[in-house]
Structure 1
Amino acid sequence: WFWGESGGFWGSPCRRPPFPGRFPSPLPRRGGGGGPKIGGKKPFLFYFDIVKCASPLVLLEFQCPTTQICVSQCPDRYLTYLGAYGSRPELEYYRQFCLPEFKNLQKPPIEVLKDKECPAMLIPSTPLVRRCFPAIQSKKGVIMVGNQTTYDDGRGHRRNVTELLEGAKKANVVLEARQLAMKIFEDYTVSWYWIIIGLVIAMVASLIFIVLLRFLAGVMVWVMIVMVILVLGYGIFHCYMEYAKLKGEAGSDVSLADLGFQTDLRVYLHLRQTWLAFMIILCIVEAVIILLLIFLRKRILIAIALIREASRAIGHVMMSLLFPLCTFFLLCLCIAYWASTAVFLSTSNEAVYKVFNETACQFSGQPCRPETFNTSNVTKQCPDAQCLFAFYGGETAYHKYLIVLQFFNIFMFFWLVNFVIALGQVTLAGAFASYYWAFKKPDDMPAFPLFSAFGRALRYHTGSLAFGSLILAIVQVIRVILEYLDHRLKAADNRLAKFLLSCLKCCFWCLEKFIKFLNRNAYIMIAVYGTNFCTSARNAFSLLMRNIIRVAVLDKVTDFLFFLGKLLIVGSVGILAFFFFTQRIKLVQDTAPSLNYYWVPILTVIVGSYLIAHGFFSVYGMCVDTLFLCFCEDLERNDGSPERPYYMSPELSEILLKGNLEPSKSADSQG
């Protein structure tokens, strides 16, 4: 594993932090009171028994269940308290690793160890990230500490040094996780307002892009395609320049496999292999996009016509661009409900303490109470026993079935979220359908199409929306249960069960995608005809199957173009954030905050920009899907004659009724 010196106070709690009282101290030595004293004369943290760091409690509490003190130096020799007791110089040396209040050197060793005033043994250690860790080394594949493969644990037992290795690894997990979390938190505290500015820029860019699509759909689509290619091209060029710049630098040729996982991700940016991997990935993405554009160039012209028609529809229903804010607010309420319920269920458990003992004890594993443990019979019969926190839980029927309540809470969360999304989809579909089916656009449209569609959805279609959301929620909960079972079976060596579980996970993933696609089109039919969910889903599926080529080609090409639009906005804002937070823009070089990990705000801005762009483009996507389904229905119900004229606009019919998308004979016969 990797050890690295940490700057600032993050390396050790034995150093004075710049924000006193904001961060917790190490494990209290008695289960109450304070941790090690903070000071500059004792900068290293010493573990009484680092083997205990291998306990599962480390992962539960992110603490090693052993006494920790601050020392001026780490031990440099093997020594047990029983061995040091007979020599005054060795006892004086040993004393610096005992509790500060330990003064009585004449106290019997058995009582000293029982009261845990001194460690049972000392092991040659080295100060790493201001912690005393065993000086582990490997000679010819043999793990050794101080040229020994075993050590005396201070209680008359010889133990293998591999136990020290395991304890040191778990202690390092605690250290790295805390250090990473604290540094990320610190980065957010100094960059949060710049992150908000970046998200505002993404929102303005998305809004400008949508408005320009209203008037310059064809030009904007081609500009978007060219800009995406240029942005990816610049990314390839930048990766190549970084790759070439690192040539010949010390340590830059280390492979990612040899380096392993590092909490300081800046280490990876000093490797040539990292930039080579980035360059290869960007080249593959660039090549795929260019090939798709070459093979779909004719379909892109038709998709532009559909996007232009969607722009006209949105131009007559401008409030639809703000509707994602309503959906976002309702989703926040759903998340708040789920999170608060989950927290209440989780905290309804009681802290369970159990007896832990290093030697054989009849009370090991039994529940105990810390308040009365020292006066109980357990300490008399098992002097080394401790009453330690085990887990949160209980023995009542409520606590036993608490996991069922958590799954039900997740189910309700999925149901509510899917209902909110369905409500937004049927509202937008109703508004855009009123545009398509208006014979004289926009004179035949309602005065407030969005509010009218929202009112119809709440008044007439809540049952259909709830039923469609229920089906999807059931599938999603089944997927969660399968993931839970997969997590539980990781330790088991049952290949057949793992194979079947993987097959089920794959099948239900495909089923969820299909249901989402079917529900989306069913909600459009609900908005157009007002039929129930089952009838709408059946009619939508039949209509799509009769126009499967149009669905596969035209609808998906528009989805691809919208994806390029989101990629352009996210890429542009991400590049701007990268240059700003890495202080490469000279005009604002002094304004950019100093960060531990500049990728923290950059990734936050990128993810937030994608969500914002997705919110705006989701309106366009719903508009295109609605117009496309209405177009297919229009072709089957009408033939363009004076008796049965098409409801589509002349511009749309001029392009969609030509070439490869000529209406099929079957569609005409049904008309």
Structure 2
Amino acid sequence: MSNKVLLADYNNHGQQQFEYPEQDVYYTGRKLNQDLKHGPIEQRGCQDIICVILYLSVWALMIFCAIKSWDTGDASKIYLPYDSQQRQCGKGDLKSYPNIYIITQSESYCVSDCPGESGVGKELPCYQCSAQTAPYASAQLLTLCFPTLKVDEKYQELISNLVDISGFQRHYADLEETWPIILACAGIAFFMAILLTFLIRLAAGCIVWGMILIYLLIVAAIGTVAYLQSKGHYQEYRIIDDAQQLEIIAYVFWSIGGLSLLIILCLAKKISQAIQVLKTAADFTREEWQALFVPVFILILVLGFFAYWLIFSAIIYSTSNEINKSQYSPYVELQWDAKTGWQLCLYFFGLIWNVCFALALCQFVISSCCCFWYYSHQGYPLNSSILKSFCRGFTTNFGSLLFGSLILAIVWTIKFILEFFHKQLKNSVQGDNNALGYALRCAKYYVSCFEKFIRFLNQNAYTMMALTGQSFCNSAYDAFYLILRNATRVAITHGLGELFEFLGAIFISASSSFICYLIITKADAYKNNIFNPIAPTLAFILVSYMIGKMFMNLYGMGVDTLLLCFIVDTEMNKNEGGAKSVPHSLKQYASELN
């Protein structure tokens, strides 16, 4: 009784001392809605309507700009070249001849196809070119017939001087050549993800401890190799010439490995408890296997919007009236005016906001399905959980998801602007080794840290939103203090979930990319027809990592959502014997905490 009186006196004193309860360092948040005892709240209203209005306004402006530019814009200005007679390839009478084949500085022709090895010395497939023959073999690079690697260097030098063949264009040609392998990489990554999912269900503990062991071995191996190189061994693989620096690197990695091992030993029990949550997340994906298709559906939506954005951004860009074209270059250079620049900025921000919204919707739907599954163990109905989650995401919680994604989109935009200015400064005469460059680097670092905090806060806010149906601010508020009240429970489990998600995606990406890299560097059909394997390999890594991330994100979101559901369940029923909806695989975790 005395403790209650003291607590009441403390609360009264706190209310008199602080204008807002959040100013008190001992404040741990407000009580949650008691209706959460029985599962996610059904009675919901539309939240954050102003964000819906703002989002629809952005879309209205984007559509208006697209319609206005449709009649005056011509995207072919960007990529269709001109021949030596100043006729645009792929237009009018030359509609069937979209590519440019350059013979001399003042002689070029529009051709239907780029002549390959078999076409050398034969008549060019061109329009009214008086039986002109092809002097060299070429490969199509966008709309340019670029000499292959075996061709006389004078032709390569000629075309490189006339046309700014950037590294990007060469990489694009390599990607076009290896696209079947990129698709195969996606298939391999999908298979590896399914295999890893199956293994997690069988032995989550072995996989987690195995990943930790692999991490320690890699750190130790890097340190050992660096030390041996500092002593004169493995010189053919040596990257750094300074032996003293290599020795320092070795000691640093050994120190990191030793410190990591010490931390792992101290937190072994916590890691074992977190593995139980991971096993429960595996049970969720096994029973609610339809959730695997949610990231795939979201990815299709993002790709569809990106295609729309790419097409209409090109059309808007082509509306600029300022066109520069050198005497011999087959391509025009467009310089947009202020009006076109603002329209492109609008489309760029629209792209970022829509991508952030797609990520938010994916996280919300998975969290919502996980909440339904958790509370189904005490009788909460588990019918059409994915459809129900999508309906809530596009109706009552639509504005809240837009609010959270808008905050992240603004942070991404600021990050992009800082990166742009920093790049401009680096390319300037004075470089970035000055006070301004230092300030920009600091600003980029602070924004990156803030971005990580926002992503963490958003993810947990979406989980609370799935449970309570509140606005974004209220959900983020409750999620923050819920985690603060249970920091010791959340820290290790969340960290392990993040680590497992990252390492799983890395495993899928590395294994898939390595197989495809061997194909393009060893198979005769590819190794002689690409400029450089860098771009295809990066594409392998990107595609396989995205697929791996989609699958592993289920476990990351599952771990975080299940943990928050368990904490909410425990708080709601702390006077009635503890959590009531604990899944069977999580009961040992609950008993160890109690």
Fold match, TM over 0.5?
A: yes
Deviations 1:572-595 (A, max 9, x none): 223333444443xxxxx6787545
Shift of the 603–177 alpha-carbon distance from structure 1 to 2, 3 Å rule, reads farther
Over residues 445-498 of structure 1, what are the superposed CA-to-partner deviations in whole Å (9 max), with x where a residue is unaligned? 412222222222222111111122222222222233333333444437594444
Closer, same or farther: CA 274–606 of 1 in aligned 2, 3 Å: farther
Aligned to 1:8: none
Residues 565-604 of structure 1 aligned to structure 2 (within 5 Å): 565-583=504-522, 594-596=528-530, 597-604=532-539
Select which of 305, 313, 325 maps to 2:284: 313
User: 2:446 aligns to what SS in structure 1?
Assistant: helix
Indicate the residue corresponding to 1:375 in structure 2.
none
Q: Which aligned pairs between 1:43-58 and structure 2 lie closer than 5 A?
A: none
Query: Is 2:264 aligned against 1:296?
Result: yes
Question: How do residues 270-419 of structure 1 correspond to structure 2 at under 5 angstroms?
Answer: 272-273=238-239, 288=256, 292=260, 294-297=262-265, 298=268, 299-353=270-324, 392-393=334-335, 399-419=337-357
Mapped to 2, the partners of 1:474 and 1:511 lie a distance apart of 12
Asked if structure 1 preserves the Cα contact closer than 8 Å seen for 2:501 and 2:552, the reply is yes
Question: Take 1:481 and 1:402, find their aligned partners in 2: how far apart are those partners?
Answer: 18
Three-state SS of the structure 2 residue aligned to 1:630 is: helix
2:514 aligned with 1:548, yes or no? no
Please state how far the C-alpha of 1:304 moved relative to its aligned partner: 1.0
1:462 is aligned to 398
Structure 1 equivalent of residue 500 of structure 2? 561
Alignment partners' CA distance in 2, 1:330 and 1:304? 33
Structure 1 residues 400, 302: CA separation in 2 closer, same or farther (over 3 Å shift)?
same
Question: Bigger radius of gyration, 1 or 2?
Answer: 1
SS at match of 2:106: coil
**Could you tell me whether the CA contact under 8 Å between 1:433 and 1:627 is conserved in 2?**
yes
Shift of 1:614: 0.5
Residues 24-423 of structure 1 mapped to structure 2, 5 A cutoff: 24-25=101-102, 28-29=105-106, 129-130=153-154, 178=165, 184=171, 187-226=174-213, 272-273=238-239, 288=256, 292=260, 294-297=262-265, 298=268, 299-353=270-324, 392-393=334-335, 399-423=337-361
Change (3 A) 1:316 1:22: same
* Equivalent residue letter for 2:382: P
Shift of 1:557: 1.8
Classify 1:286/1:592 alpha carbon distance in 2 versus 1 (closer, same or farther; 3 Å): farther
Superposed CA offset, 1:276-333 (max 9, x none)? 99x9999987985675355225132122111001111222211011111111011112
Q: How much has 1:623 moved relative to structure 2?
A: 0.9
Compute the TM-score of the two structures, normalised by the length of structure 1: 0.57
| Contact 2:279–2:585 under 8 Å retained in 1 | no
CA distance in structure 2 between the aligned counterparts of 1:172 and 1:235, rounded to whole angstroms: 44
Q: Name the count of aligned residue pairs.
A: 455
2:154 and 2:225 map into 1 onto residues whose CA distance is 38
Query: What letter corresponds to residue 222 of structure 1 in structure 2?
Result: W
Matched, 1:652 2:586: yes
- Distance, in Å, in 1 between the alignment partners of 2:286 and 2:382 is 14
Find the partner of 1:618 among 553, 561, 586.
553
Q: Specify the code of the residue in structure 2 equivalent to 1:474.
A: I
Which amino acid is the alignment partner of residue 534 of structure 1? C
Q: Which amino acid aligns with 1:336?
A: A
> Which residue of 2 is the match for residue 90 of structure 1?
none
Which secondary structure does the structure 1 equivalent of 2:395 belong to?
Answer: helix
Give the C-alpha shift of residue 222 in structure 1.
3.3
Contact 1:232–1:282 (CA<8 Å) still a contact in 2? no
More deviation, 495-504/209-218: 495-504
TM-score (normalised: structure 2): 0.64
Secondary structure class of the residue paired with 1:25: strand
The one-letter amino acid paired with 1:213 is: I
Distance in 2 (CA, whole Å) between partners of 1:27 and 1:507 is 53
CA contact (8 A) 1:429 1:622 kept: yes
Instruction: Give the SS at the match of 2:334.
Output: strand
Shift of 1:629: 1.4
Distance (whole Å) between structure 1 residues aligned to residue 331 and residue 528 of structure 2: 40
Kindly, what percent of the aligned residue pairs are identical? 26
What's the CA shift for 1:400?
2.3
**What is the one-letter code of the residue matched to 2:487?**
I
Q: Does the 8 A contact of 1:353 with 1:389 survive in 2?
A: no
Taking structure 1 as reference, are residues 21 and 181 closer, same or farther at Cα in structure 2, changes over 3 Å only? farther
SS of equivalent residue, structure 1 residue 130: helix
Q: Which has the higher contact order (CA 8 A, sep 6+)?
A: 2
1:387, 1:579 → 2: CA distance?
Answer: 38
How far residue 335 of structure 1 moved from its aligned partner, in angstroms, is 1.4
Structure 2 counterpart of 1:452: 388
How far, CA to CA, are the matches of 2:517 and 2:221 in structure 1? 13
Q: Could you say which residue in structure 2 is the equivalent of 1:505?
A: 444
Kept in 2, the 8 Å contact 1:468–1:533? The answer is yes
- Cα distance, 1:412 vs structure 2: 1.2
Structure-1 residue corresponding to 2:364: 426
Aligned equivalents of 1:173, 1:595: Cα separation in 2: 19
CA distance in 2, matches of 1:612, 1:569: 8
Q: C-alpha separation between the residues in 2 aligned to 1:275 and 1:205?
A: 38
CA separation of 1:409 and 1:625: change in aligned 2, threshold 3 A: same
Q: Which runs of 5+ in 2 are unaligned?
A: 1-96, 112-118, 122-143, 145-151
Match of 2:467 in 1: 528
1:194 Cα deviation from its structure 2 partner: 2.9
Q: CA deviation at 1:247?
A: 7.7
Give distance in 2, aligned partners of 1:603 and 1:276.
Answer: 30
SS at match of 1:605: helix
1:466-481 superposed matches below 5 A? 466-481=402-417
Assess, with a 3 A threshold, how the Cα gap between structure 1 residues 22 and 630 changes in structure 2: closer, same or farther.
Answer: same
Q: How far did residue 598 of structure 1 move?
A: 3.8
Kept in 2, the 8 Å contact 1:566–1:610? The answer is yes
Alpha-carbon contact 2:189-2:547 (below 8 Å) kept: yes
CA apart distance, 1:434? 1.1
* CA RMSD across the alignment: 4.7
Q: Who is 1:607 aligned against?
A: 542
Helix, strand or coil at the partner of 1:401: helix
* C-alpha spacing 1:326/1:131, structure 2 compared with 1 (3 Å): closer
Residues 510, 179 of structure 1: CA spacing in aligned structure 2 closer, same or farther, 3 A cutoff? closer
1:532-567 CA deviation, whole Å, 9 max, x = no partner? 111111111111222233333221122112222222
Contact 1:28–1:34 (8 Å) recurs in 2? no
Letter in 2 for 1:527: A
Q: Select which of 432, 452, 457 maps to 1:518.
A: 457
Counterpart position of 2:569: 634
Task: Quote the offset at 1:615 in angstroms.
Answer: 0.8
CA distance in 2, matches of 1:132, 1:466: 50
